[in-house]
Amino acid sequence: MHKRLSFLGAAACSLVVLLAAGPPAHAGPYAGVEGGVTLFNDDYTRVVIPPSPTIGAHTNFDVGWMAGANAGYEWPVGLALEEEFAFRQSDIDRITNGTTGPIFKGGDAHSYSIMTNGYYRWHNVTPFTPYIGGGIGESTVVLNNLRPVGVSGNFGGDDAVFGYQGIGGVSYAVSPKLSVAAEYRYFATLRPGFESNVGNFNDVKVAPDYSSHGATLRLTYNFDNFR
């Protein structure tokens, strides 16, 4: 038992030393691309079909995807600041109410986001660099071709809202200038609102929560070498 504890303690100390070691820190500008899978939360959706009162529903999303590009600058201490453009897309199975059943079927939701992100990267003597980050910005969320049940026509619209995200991952230095990373992202916006006329109904409103969990691969080119 004591030998096992001693081994674990030594391993923990070694990990701390590796992560605390300075080189090979990177400083300078970088640019990259990213892509991956997104799992949207089946969250609350507010539906208003006048003259009826507000209906509490939820949106069932299919598995979606995202792609993006970024450019930024990293300082020798491991802090980095970047601008990112990202596109997310997911098909919608249905928007449904637990009492009355489906209200809309089909369609898709996608978003265009411009985010300002900050990171802290733990550079060490290994080629692996863990990091955490977060960002804020604007996201334009779009609903397309929602089909109301029992009514002819399609529903859709777009809304620009505040977006935010949390990021965590590990990068691997393939070369002094090129690295690949695997990361997790939580992305969400303030609730977007959409309004349109459908069939004989005017001013139909749909306001879904919009948040997702993502698994992303990221490729980064550093214009300065690691040092």
What stretch of H or E contains 219? strand 211-222
Once rounded to an integer, what is the mean pLDDT over residues 163-168?
Answer: 98
Cis status of the peptide bond prior to 24, with omega within 30 of 0: yes
Distance CA 89, CA 62 (A): 10
Query: First-to-last CA distance in the chain?
Result: 42
d(CA 167, CA 119): 8
- The confidence band for 98, taking pLDDT boundaries of 50, 70 and 90, is confident
When comparing pLDDT for 21 and 192, which is higher?
192
Least confident of 40-44, 67-71, 165-169: 40-44
Q: Report pTM.
A: 0.84
For position 43, what pLDDT does the model report?
A: 84
- Give the pLDDT mean for 91-114: 91
Domain ranges of the chain: 28-222
Is the pLDDT confidence value at 208 over 70?
A: yes
User: Please, are residues 21 and 59 in contact by the beta-carbon 8 Å criterion?
Assistant: no
- Whether 18 and 124 have beta carbons less than 8 Å apart is answered as yes
Separation of alpha carbons 199 and 227, rounded Å? 64
By the 8 A CB rule, do 62 and 88 touch? no
3-state secondary structure of 100: coil
Please state, in angstroms and rounded to a whole number, the distance separating the CA atoms of residues 137 and 54: 30
Q: What is the dihedral of CA 118, 124, 129, 131, to 10 degrees?
A: -30
Beta-bridge partner residues of 46: 56, 207
CATH class for the domain made up of 28-222: mainly beta
More confident residue, 10 or 73: 73
Model pLDDT, residue 22: 47
**227 falls in which pLDDT band (50, 70, 90)?**
very low
Residue 146 CB: number of other CB atoms within 10 A? 26
pLDDT tens figures, 11-66: 444 444 444 444 455 689 999 999 999 999 988 999 998 888 888 898 999 999 99
Per-residue confidence (pLDDT) for residue 70, from 0 to 100: 98
Q: How far is Cα 131 from Cα 119, in angstroms, rounded to an integer? A: 7
Count of beta carbons in the 10 Å neighbourhood of residue 96: 20
- 14 phi and psi angles, rounded to 5 deg: -65, -40
Q: Are 138 and 160 in contact (CB under 8 A)?
A: yes
Side-chain-facing half-sphere of 56: CA atoms under 13 Å: 3
The pLDDT score that the predictor gives to residue 167 is 98
